[in-house]
DNA sequence: AAACGCTTTACATGTCCATGACAACTGAGT
DNA sequence: ACTCAGTTGTCATGGACATGTAAAGCGTTT
């Protein structure tokens, strides 16, 4: 799974930097905003998987930002930071659609736990509409995404996470030439700066596991790869 | 299946409207009551599939309404809203027969999750009397869900609650790769805020008790676990 | 206080994957 | 056909990260 992105909107520099460092340390891709307007801007340009909103902010309050986001998008989970418990009634009462809240002051443990829990819930709720969960074929090999396995005449081999994602992406675009950029973005995440040879390496592994059907994944010299559709 | 109907009894207008909008947005057929007497009236005329009751209400308290409903009907699930943790003891202690409770303030996600969970349970209770209650096998070990025991060639060991739930979940999805998220949601509940390593720990314990059949539960690196089906 | 179940921490172990080197290949231009 | 530069296949390896495992902490029950 590629890194999950979190937008943190908080005006207090200390708290903002603290949360930034904390979440980044936990392996998230974090972007920040120091007021409500910036938060909305960052939201539209970065499309984060989770938004953490302070309520008291200059320009636009957390309430306003929440409404603005919910107007466009009902999916993305949202955590509010509040100074006092009472304000929660407002959050709920106004039907703003926040997913969780944390009252200041909070412990780092608490923040990390809630962030993880909210992301976990939303991951399950979405239940991966973009991905394929049913058995499909590549060449004469059968891919089983639920089991992370590929079955060929030669036998059954198990697939690693990246291998599975690559195969799924090929299957979703049969016959199309997929450039390295596209594949790297799809499997490794949108902002992957690594060596492009990594991709070749994984293609090679996949071909090995496909056995006879290896040539179903053709290389298009100077461009990328292509799944043969028969 | 037609829309499921939910009755919400809550005196605070903001919260009532918030819950109303939230649940309606989730696709439920929602009706509301602003005090205890109205709640009982609405209940008898609408026969909802689920009742959400605030405890502190004018005219009749949530306790009273709960008792009144349970006097006629033991089926319909019931969720109590409480302001403080202590009151919960009363709810449970009085044997009122509430199915779940939520302490204020709560997040929208939490409410939605619990509503869905309670409705799912009651649906299951009507259709299928139990989850897995018969003896089943994992590898060469025999699991007895009624006795919370596992029998292997080496002998018999007893299983804890979580261990049993985990094993049942594996047994219900043989061969499938189950992600940590899915397992945590299934066994620990949707609003679990703990460490993901807890799961690993329990898997380790289960493997120990499975003895020789330990490798029936395979780990899929970077994804989760998988029960080998032979 | 002792036992138990669950969680958390800490450290050991293992797996996968990113990376670089080099060989083999491709295609365009001669 | 041959050359050559750029691209891709393949292999080997170190390191980052996920998992295994033991032990300690914590709250509840006996």
> What b/e sequence results for A125-164 when a residue is b if at least 16 CB atoms lie within 10 Å of its CB, and e otherwise?
eeeeeeebeeebebbebebbbebbbbbbeeeebbbbebbb
Strands B100-103 and A149-152: what pairing? unpaired
Local structure of A172: helix, strand or coil: helix
E-only strand ranges, chain B:
5-9, 29-33, 50-54, 78-82, 100-103, 136-138, 141-144, 149-152, 155-158, 177-179, 217-220, 224-227
> pLDDT above 90 covers what percent of chain B?
33
Residue B92 Cβ under 7 A from any strand D atom: no
- At residue B94, the pLDDT reads 44
Nucleotide nearest to A214 (CA to C1'): D9
Residues paired with B7 in a beta bridge? B31, B51
CB contact under 8 A, B105 and A100: no
Distance A221 CA to D5 C1' (A): 14
pLDDT in tens, A99-150: 777 877 777 888 888 888 888 877 655 444 445 678 999 989 999 999 999 9
- At residue B137, the pLDDT reads 92
What CA–CA distance (Å, rounded) separates B163 from A211? 39
Q: Is A105 exposed, middle or buried (0-12, 13-18, 19+ CB in 10 A)?
A: exposed
pLDDT of residue B2 exceeding 50, the answer is yes
- At residue A127, the pLDDT reads 43
Nearest Cα of chain A lies from the Cα of B162 at a distance, in angstroms, of 19
The DSSP letter of residue B27 is T
- At residue B97, the pLDDT reads 60
Residue A163 Cβ under 7 A from any strand C atom: yes
pLDDT of residue B128 exceeding 50, the answer is no
Average pLDDT over residues B59-85: 77
Average pLDDT over residues B2-21: 84
Greater confidence (A82 vs A173) lies with: A173
Distance A28 CA to D8 C1' (A): 33
- At residue A18, the pLDDT reads 87
All residues at 6 or more sequence positions from B20 whose CB lies less than 8 Å from its CB, including other chains: B8, B30, B32
Average pLDDT over chain B reads 82
- At residue A190, the pLDDT reads 63
Average pLDDT over residues B184-192: 81
- At residue B92, the pLDDT reads 47
- At residue B96, the pLDDT reads 57
Mean pLDDT is lowest, of A122-136, B30-44, B82-96, for B82-96
Chain B contact residues (CB < 8 Å to A): 12-15, 17-19, 21-22, 25, 104-110, 113, 175-177, 181-182, 184-185, 190-196, 220-223, 226
Task: Give the position of tokens 């609003």.
Answer: B191
> pLDDT above 70 covers what percent of chain B?
82
Rg (CA), chain A: 22
pLDDT of residue B130 exceeding 50, the answer is no
Mean pLDDT is lowest, of A41-45, B53-57, B145-149, B189-193, for B189-193
Secondary structure of A81-146 in the HEC alphabet? Answer: EECCCCHHHHHHHCCCCCCEEEECCCCHHHHHHHHHHHHHHHHHHHCCCCCCCCCEEECCEEEECC
pLDDT of residue A2 exceeding 80, the answer is no
A36: which 2 tokens? 């409500």
Distance B45 CA to C8 C1' (A): 51
CB contact under 8 A, A147 and B14: no
* Contact assessment for residue A33 and residue A8, using Cβ atoms and an 8 Å cutoff: yes
B190: which 2 tokens? 């949707």
pLDDT of residue B207 exceeding 90, the answer is yes
What CA–CA distance (Å, rounded) separates B105 from B112? 14
- At residue A50, the pLDDT reads 92
Residues of B in Cβ contact (< 8 Å) with A91: 105
pLDDT of residue A13 exceeding 80, the answer is yes
Average pLDDT over chain A reads 84
CB contact under 8 A, B226 and A148: yes
Instruction: Provide the pLDDT confidence category of residue B132 given band limits of 50, 70 and 90.
Output: low
Distance B221 CA to C11 C1' (A): 20
What CA–CA distance (Å, rounded) separates B199 from B186? 11
CB contact under 8 A, B14 and A90: yes
Residue A160 Cβ under 7 A from any strand C atom: yes
- At residue A1, the pLDDT reads 54
What CA–CA distance (Å, rounded) separates A116 from B199? 14
Residue B163 Cβ under 7 A from any strand C atom: yes
Residue A194 Cβ under 7 A from any strand C atom: yes
Nearest Cα of chain A lies from the Cα of B63 at a distance, in angstroms, of 22
- At residue A203, the pLDDT reads 95
A95: which 2 tokens? 């039907």
Residue B93 Cβ under 7 A from any strand C atom: no
Residues paired with B6 in a beta bridge? B30, B50
Residues of B in Cβ contact (< 8 Å) with A99: 107-109
- At residue A220, the pLDDT reads 93
Instruction: Provide the pLDDT confidence category of residue A93 given band limits of 50, 70 and 90.
Output: very low
- At residue A41, the pLDDT reads 93
Q: Is the pTM of this model over 0.75?
A: no
Average pLDDT over residues B73-99: 62
- At residue A76, the pLDDT reads 82
Chain A residue at shortest CA distance from B11:
A93
What CA–CA distance (Å, rounded) separates B210 from B204? 10
Nucleotide nearest to B214 (CA to C1'): D20
- At residue B144, the pLDDT reads 92
pLDDT in tens, A164-209: 999 999 999 999 999 988 898 888 876 666 677 899 999 999 999 9
Residues paired with B212 in a beta bridge? none
Local structure of A29: helix, strand or coil: strand
């Amino acid at each position: 799974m590629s890194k999950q992105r979190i937008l943190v909107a908080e005006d207090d520099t200390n708290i903002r930097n603290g949360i930034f460092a904390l979440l980044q340390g936990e392996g998230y891709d974090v972007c920040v905003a120091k007021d409500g307007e910036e938060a909305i801007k960052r939201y539209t340009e970065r499309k984060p998987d989770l938004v953490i909103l302070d309520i008291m902010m200059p320009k636009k309050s957390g309430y306003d930002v929440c409404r603005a986001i919910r107007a466009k998008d009902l999916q993305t989970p949202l955590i509010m930071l509040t100074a006092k418990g009472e304000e929660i009634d407002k959050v709920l009462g106004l039907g703003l659609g926040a997913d969780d809240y944390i009252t200041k002051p909070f412990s780092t443990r608490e923040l990390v736990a809630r962030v993880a829990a909210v992301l976990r819930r939303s991951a399950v709720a979405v239940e991966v509409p973009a991905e394929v969960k049913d058995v499909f074929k590549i060449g004469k090999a059968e891919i089983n995404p639920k089991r992370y396995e590929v079955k060929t005449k030669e036998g059954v081999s198990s697939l690693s996470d990246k291998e599975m994602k690559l195969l799924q992406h090929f299957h979703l675009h049969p016959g199309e030439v997929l450039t390295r950029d596209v594949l790297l973005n799809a499997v490794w995440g949108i902002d992957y700066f690594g060596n492009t040879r990594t991709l070749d390496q994984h293609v090679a592994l996949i071909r090995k596991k496909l056995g006879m059907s290896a040539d179903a994944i053709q290389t298009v010299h100077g461009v990328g790869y292509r799944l043969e559709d028969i």
